[in-house]
Amino acid sequence: MWLSRIYEDGDNPLQMIREIVSRHGLTQDDLLFQMKLKPWDDGLTLPKFKEVIRRLDQSISDSQICALFKTIKDANNLV
């Protein structure tokens, strides 16, 4: 689902994830493994989302994570 929303644009918060995935050559399974998630896990709240994103890259700021969360959250405020 993320692939359809990730495009080359410095203003797109999802670009951060794309760069991490590209830099490390991660597959979908690798990405979930690094985040310590399973495909069947429940949606992520903002605090949990911050935790799993930090597992990918410690240098991402809280404001960047919040912008990313806001971009991809659903109507229930879950990712």
Taking only the tens place, the pLDDT of each residue in 31-59 is 889 999 998 999 999 999 999 999 988 88
Say whether pLDDT at 6 is over 80. no
CA-CA-CA-CA dihedral for 67, 70, 14, 79, to nearest 10: 130
Q: What is the value of pTM for the model shown?
A: 0.76
> In this structure, what token pair is assigned to residue 38?
């399973």
Which of these, 54, 21, 10, 11, lies nearest to 2 by C-alpha position?
21
Mean pLDDT of 4-9: 54
Q: CA 75 to CA 12: how far, in whole Å? A: 20
Amino acid at the residue 43 = G
Q: Give the model's pLDDT for residue 36.
A: 93
Nearby residues of 70 by Cβ (< 8 Å), 6 or more positions away: 13
